[in-house]
Amino acid sequence: MKTRSPRLVIVSARAPFVRTGSGIVRAPGGLISALLPLMRRSRGTWIATGADREACDTSELPFRVRALALPSEIRSAWYAGASNGALWPLSHGFGEVCRFRAEQARAYFEVCRAAADAAAEYALPGGVVWVHDYQLALVPALLRARRPDLTIGFFWHIPWPASDSLRVLPWASELIEGVLGADLVGLHVPRYVRAFRDALDELGIAYVNDGESIVVPRGARHTRIEAWPIGVDVDGWASLGRDETVAAEAARITADLGGGRVLLSVDRMDYAKGIVERLEAFERLLEQNAEARERVTLVQIGVPSRETVPAYRELRQRIEATVGRIQGRFGGPRRKPVHLFARTFDSTELAAYYLAADAAIVTPKRDGMNLVAFEYVATRPRPNGRLLLSTTAGAADVLTEAHLVNPYDEEGLTSAIEDVALAPETASDIARMAALQARVSQLSVETWASGFLARLEQVTEERVPVRAQ
Ligand code: G6P
């Protein structure tokens, strides 16, 4: 799909480049790979609120990257406090982890204001601005107040909080009003759009249902809320999956792990990912099943994350302690039932693990979408392997042919892991993986990004008369 969007402005917490030991490199993740070509074409500006300024010195690029200069205590209260100590746990249903502090809310408002100021400065008259995620949810309304001429899109990449959870957020109505400053609000799946509708009901904000979308009248304009499921760089993962060097590395991994069945989990070390619960389910399987004790290995890639937030530091210790206990109980000189890697893997390394894995165990307790599930499927050159996926991940609404499991059901999780690890492959397994591959191919991240932008422009042009109900 073509979009007009000259000089598109993107606003996000993360920048498209990061500084590593080996210099400035492209940030990982499908979102960045989808947005970079759009930015190159539109010669726009990428505004990043949480980025390192030097990593954003990209003078050789055909677009600008602007890292906002924010005092470190404001940045920390916004990132570790309001965003990841309040909004993240609230949206993922971890009420007991939430902390609401006034100074963190003030910092959140300040960062959103700074981002809106920068977007107002760089956007062309009548231009398009696309704001991303829960760290910056007030930007759409703040920007609208500064620049009513703009077309504004907003994407919330995590679950929309249940209305009971939202009730405890002291600035819930500011949050919703902030989001409603956009012309088009994207959420991953219809279930989150329904949760958004509940929030509107709760706050007494009038809307119109339009199929599965919602239209909220806002004076002379309206805000449309819709489900736009994101995907991955399908061609990129598929070509890694066909690469001979990657395949040779996968064979080496399988041999190094003893030639038995390989289960793979890849997560940021986040309590919402259910890593400890998965390890405990695997431990129960080893207790109960002698074949699993001899032949099944779980590889857990755990990317360190948000370690300035106490809940994340504690989680890492619990993960390491659980792996140590399992190793102590079931390991031996030639046998290590769980391998934990606590570091970032690049996509080539990951692809080798995806190929080596007989099953991907994607069992978050709650997840906006979960792209590991998509990457595992996209990398496989043949429709083999199994995907075990939580019903509580957004991906379960899209990847319906996966083996689905309720991650809170302890015995259910153990027996689901047992099935995907040890049951002989059947024609139905192959048919399921083939269907998943077809589904994942339809949902590439490039299609998602260009489709959302095209829809954003269409939404601002449609002048459907809307009557509030
Ligand atoms: C989720 C969020 C993103 C965030 C990413 C990594 O996917 O939706 O907005 O960037 O996690 O988290 P971090 O705190 O490291 O940016």
Strand pairing category for 261-268 and 208-210: unpaired
DSSP string across 257-319? TTSSEEEEEEEES-GGG-HHHHHHHHHHHHHH-HHHHHHEEEEEEEE---TTSHHHHHHHHHH
CA 243, CA 351: separation in Å to the nearest integer? 10
Angle between helices 139-146 and 172-179 (to 10 degrees): 60
Of all protein residues, the one whose alpha carbon is nearest to atom 8 of ligand 1 is 157
Task: Give the mutation target among 76, 268, 309 for probing the ligand 1 site: most ligand atoms within 8 A of CB.
Answer: 268
28-46 confidence digits (pLDDT tens): 777 888 888 889 889 999 9
For residue 333, report the distance from its CA to the centre of ligand 1, in Å: 38
Q: Identify the residue whose C-alpha is closest to ligand 1 atom 16.
A: 14
Report the nearest atom of ligand 1 relative to the CA of 134. 9
Length of the chain, in residues: 469
Beta bridge partners, 335, equal 332
CA distance 244 to 399: 28
400-443 per-position pLDDT tens digit? 999 999 999 999 999 999 999 999 999 999 999 999 999 999 99
The b-or-e profile of 195-222 (16+ CB within 10 A means b, else e) is bbbebbeeeebebbeeeebbbbbbeeeb
Q: Considering only CA atoms, which residue is closest to atom 2 of ligand 1?
A: 157
| Token pair for 355 | 């190929």
Ligand 1 centroid to Cα of residue 88, in Å, is 10
- 16-19-21 Cα angle (round to 5): 145
CA–centroid distance, 285 to ligand 1, in Å, is 32
The number of the ligand 1 atom at minimal distance from the alpha carbon of 50 is 16
Low-confidence stretches of the chain (pLDDT beneath 70): 1-5, 58-59, 463-469
| Long-range contacts (CB closer than 8 Å, 24 or more residues apart) made by 371-374 | 371/29, 371/30, 371/230, 371/231, 371/232, 371/395, 372/265, 372/266, 372/267, 373/399, 373/402, 374/231, 374/232, 374/399, 374/440, 374/443
Which has the closest alpha carbon to 74: 99, 101, 111, 100?
111
Per-residue pLDDT, 327: 97
Cα–Cα dist 272/366, whole Å: 6
Give the model's pLDDT for residue 469.
45
Cβ burial, residue 5 (10 Å; 0-12/13-18/19+): buried
In a mutational test of the pocket of ligand 1, which residue from 192, 305, 307, 369 has the highest number of ligand atoms less than 8 Å from its CB?
A: 305
Spell out which residues line ligand 1, taking CB within 6 angstroms.
13-14, 133, 157-158, 305-306
Output the average pLDDT for the chain: 94
Residue to probe by mutation, ligand 1, list 131, 139, 158, most atoms within 8 Å of CB:
158
